[in-house]
Amino acid sequence: MEKINVAVVGTGFIGPAHIEALRRSPNIEVAALCEVNEELAKAKAAQLGITKAMLFEDMLKDDSIKAVHICTPNFLHYAQSKAVLEAGKHVICEKPLATKIEEAEELVKLAKKSGLVNAVHFNLRYYPMVRQMKTMRESGELGDIYSIMGSYLQDWLFLQTDYNWRLEPDKSGDSRAIADIGSHLLDLTEYVTGLKITEVMADFSTVHKTRLKPLKAIETYSGKMLQESDYEEVPINTEDHATVMLRFDNGHKGSVTVSQVNAGRKNRLNIEIAGSKANFEWCSEKPNELWIGRRETANQQLMKDPALFTPEAAKLIGFPGGHNEGFPDTSKQMFKEVYAAISEGKQPENPSYPTFEDGYRELLICERIIESHKKQAWVKI
């Protein structure tokens, strides 16, 4: 089996997660690591056991690298994805695809013209239970969808001293909670239900109007504590919390709430889909369980088991029933599909994985949500 040499750009929280998932596939070699300077690249490459430490520009010229994972802060996604495509390499980009809708449009066109494999890391689609819900809905087990309620709650920005580059609009964009975790929830909503969001009504709140920015670098989720003298107070103008009402193309309604200041909620995506035949509820903190609500018969608790799942969902399961799988497995399963396409050398006509077009779609919804909050009115997608 011929090895596919891959470069990973960026080594914050998500870069090493990509590396770990890639290493679980036998035909993929993480051959190079890129960072903002040579010193950091060498240090991180040594830490992660990667042979080549490179600057991004040098990596683009390396013909041995066939695919590139963009795991850098949001404001770099557009320029780096564009450069990778222009260098003739396949690209897997973290979400959001860009910080401006025009940039995302350009990337979609460029990717389509190139024929190269392009993907956006909406990995939460790859929980087996998520695909099971989708296929059960497609087979009619949910019935007509009446309403959708979703939430994505975290607490990693609960304290005024919690700080990260995502709090800075010039690096992250004009939205934070919605763009960061809300994009996953909205993508999951349309993916599972098959519905399209047509209108949004949003209301944001910033709990900490100012935050204490550390004068020393700390990594996301590191939990490191600094002294009072190690901070400077800075104003915050992106949302800690957001609620959005939704209208769908089937005429029915829904709502989502996202928050990064809910104490005790470490990484909790919850979705409840009410249909004319049943009600599905799934939570990412209990990823191997699906609650199915009934009116006239007993409710059900479906546990992850490839022997009981639809063939499409069973493909995402690596172990027998009773052997739990979680967040790291979602990237592994997504990359299996992406690299099957890379082995063929081109983007499939109907990819099973999320593409740049999906990245554009989520950015469009996010921009309309921001517009709705500013206008305090319903806005069409």
- Tell whether the torsion through CA atoms of 168, 169, 175 and 178 is positive or negative: negative
CATH number for the segment(s) 4-123? 3.40.50.720
Domain ranges of the chain: 4-123, 128-325
For the domain 128-325, what is the CATH superfamily, name and number?
Dihydrodipicolinate Reductase; domain 2 (3.30.360.10)
Q: What are phi and psi of 89, to 5 degrees?
A: -110, 150
Cα–Cα distance, 211 to 207 (Å, whole number): 10
Please, are residues 273 and 142 in contact by the beta-carbon 8 Å criterion? yes
The pTM of the full predicted model, rounded to 2 decimals, is 0.93
**Which of helix, strand or coil describes residue 342?**
helix
In this structure, what token pair is assigned to residue 261? 């200041």
120, 358 Cβ separation under 8 angstroms: yes
Question: What gap in Å lies between CA 380 and CA 10, rounded to an integer?
Answer: 35
pLDDT per residue, tens digit, the chain (381 aa), is: 689 999 999 999 999 999 999 999 999 999 999 999 999 999 999 999 999 999 999 999 999 999 999 999 999 999 999 999 999 999 999 999 999 999 999 999 999 999 999 999 999 999 999 999 999 999 999 999 999 999 999 999 999 999 989 999 988 889 999 999 999 999 999 999 999 999 999 999 999 999 999 887 665 555 566 776 788 999 999 999 999 999 999 999 999 999 999 999 999 999 999 999 999 999 999 999 999 999 999 999 999 999 999 999 999 999 999 999 999 999 999 999 999 999 999 999 999 999 999 999 999 999 999 999 999 999 999
Distance CA 275, CA 124 (A): 22
Give CA–CA dist 243/249, Å, rounded.
20
Write the burial class of residue 231 (CB in 10 Å: 0-12 exposed, 13-18 middle, 19+ buried): middle
